[in-house]
Structure 1
Amino acid sequence: MLTAISNKIFNQSILDYHQYNDVHQAISNPFEKSSIEHLLYMKNWIDTVQWHLEDIIRDPKIDPVTALDIKRWIDRSNQERTDVVEYIDSYFLEKYQEVKPAADAVINTESPAWAIDRLSILALKIYHMQEEATREDATAEHRAACQRKLDILLEQRTDLSTAIETLLEDIAAGRKYMKVYKQMKMYNDPSLNPVLYKGEK
């Protein structure tokens, strides 16, 4: 199942990152470049780096110049994340291009790749909540509270994985159809962000 493969790859990416735990560590994607596995690994690596950038920027003692650099890094990362999600959806569009939707077929609230995006973020929540649930310098109350949250996250992963597999089965059977809207992000586009295009005058 795709979600089982995805969850395994996301865990691998997270563990690979935490060997160094450094946002500057370059990605070393172990999968064939043309494969869906390559895209899944890349997707989670972007998410993992951004997770830690979000931690760093919340340091109340951070230097403002450094904070601005990180904010711009996060903006670039958001664009990269969106691009990779769209590449993953392109994989599904190609995979199911021969499927003829039934006359009563309906569209899903989100595309398969955006659901997988949530699965990637969930893998990060699980990893870091597991850390907190077993943190030796934390109180017993803290660990117990985090364990309860971890149990919910694990249940959520099961439910989300099931929902994604059902969606893919429905698309393959023609009960649902894919319709992908490109994420028309405006803040990075000099022609659409008023601060940028007014600053050019």
Structure 2
Amino acid sequence: MISKLCNRIFGEAIHDYHIHNHIDQPIENPYRISSIEHLLYLKCWIDTAQWHMEDVVRNPEIDPVEGLQWKRRIDASNQERTDVVEYIDSYFLEEYKNIKPNADAKINSESPAWVIDRLSILALKVYHMTEETVRPDATQEHRDLCTQKLNILLNQRADLSNSLDELIQDIENGTKYMKVYKQMKMYNDPNLNPVLYNTNHE
């Protein structure tokens, strides 16, 4: 089951990040570069570092100049995250390239990698909500509320995991087929973002 592999590796990446709990801690990916495991670990590490960047930038007392610097780091991280998602989809395209879809095969609204992207974010939500359920300086009411939220997140992860496994099985059986669209993000491209290309022409 691909979801079991994803959730296990996401847990490893999140655990490893929090050993040092530092945004600039270099990644030490334990998996072979060409493997799906390597991509999954990398994906979740990027998400974990970006999670903490988002925490920093939301500090109401942050210096505006520093805040802008963090915002640009988050933009760069988002682009890296998108690139890795597309690498994961490329892996699946190669994996199933010899499967001929049935004549009545349908396309899914999300590619496998974008479902995996959501699973990675859910793993982070589960990790941090679990922390809140045992936070010693919080009230019992806070911990109880977070426990309720955690149960919802766990249920959501189970449902999403099942949906991913079903999608992969449908692709393997030929009842669904993959069609991947590049994200074509425009805001980082100096040729597509009017603020950037108008500045360059001045």
TM-score bracket, shorter-length normalisation = over 0.9
**Residues in 2 aligned to 1:96 and 1:12: alpha-carbon distance in whole angstroms:** 27
Superposition RMSD on alpha carbons, in Å?
A: 0.5
Structure 1 runs, 4 residues or longer, greater than 4 Å off: none
**Residues in 2 aligned to 1:14 and 1:65: alpha-carbon distance in whole angstroms:** 29
How far does residue 128 in structure 1 lie from its aligned partner after superposition?
0.2
What is the identity, as a one-letter code, of the residue corresponding to 2:165?
A: E
What is the identity, as a one-letter code, of the residue corresponding to 1:118?
A: R
**Residues in 2 aligned to 1:27 and 1:71: alpha-carbon distance in whole angstroms:** 21
What is the identity, as a one-letter code, of the residue corresponding to 2:34?
A: S
Q: What does residue 144 of structure 2 align with?
A: 144
**Residues in 2 aligned to 1:63 and 1:20: alpha-carbon distance in whole angstroms:** 25
Q: What does residue 173 of structure 2 align with?
A: 173
Q: What does residue 81 of structure 1 align with?
A: 81
Q: What does residue 41 of structure 1 align with?
A: 41
Q: What does residue 113 of structure 2 align with?
A: 113
How far does residue 64 in structure 1 lie from its aligned partner after superposition?
1.2
Q: Secondary structure at the match of 2:34?
A: coil
Structure 1: unaligned runs, 5 residues or longer: none
1:98-136 Cα offsets, whole Å, 9 max, x none, are 111111100001000000000000000000000001101
Q: Secondary structure at the match of 2:99?
A: coil
**Is 1:91–2:91 an aligned residue pair?**
yes
What is the identity, as a one-letter code, of the residue corresponding to 1:81?
A: R
How far does residue 24 in structure 1 lie from its aligned partner after superposition?
1.1
How many residues are aligned here?
Answer: 201
**Residues in 1 aligned to 2:28 and 2:65: alpha-carbon distance in whole angstroms:** 29
| Percent pairwise identity | 65
Q: Give the TM-score, by structure 1 length.
A: 0.99
Q: Secondary structure at the match of 2:20?
A: coil
What is the identity, as a one-letter code, of the residue corresponding to 2:42?
A: M
**Is 1:51–2:63 an aligned residue pair?**
no
**Residues in 1 aligned to 2:60 and 2:86: alpha-carbon distance in whole angstroms:** 35
Q: What does residue 159 of structure 1 align with?
A: 159
**Residues in 1 aligned to 2:63 and 2:3: alpha-carbon distance in whole angstroms:** 40
**Residues in 1 aligned to 2:108 and 2:84: alpha-carbon distance in whole angstroms:** 20
**Residues in 2 aligned to 1:46 and 1:30: alpha-carbon distance in whole angstroms:** 15
What is the identity, as a one-letter code, of the residue corresponding to 2:35?
A: S
**Residues in 1 aligned to 2:131 and 2:62: alpha-carbon distance in whole angstroms:** 24
Q: Secondary structure at the match of 2:45?
A: helix
**Residues in 2 aligned to 1:137 and 1:74: alpha-carbon distance in whole angstroms:** 30
1:42-62 Cα offsets, whole Å, 9 max, x none, are 000000000000000000111
**Residues in 2 aligned to 1:176 and 1:113: alpha-carbon distance in whole angstroms:** 15
1:66-95 Cα offsets, whole Å, 9 max, x none, are 111110000000000000000000000001
What is the identity, as a one-letter code, of the residue corresponding to 1:84?
A: V
Q: What does residue 186 of structure 2 align with?
A: 186
**Residues in 1 aligned to 2:91 and 2:85: alpha-carbon distance in whole angstroms:** 10
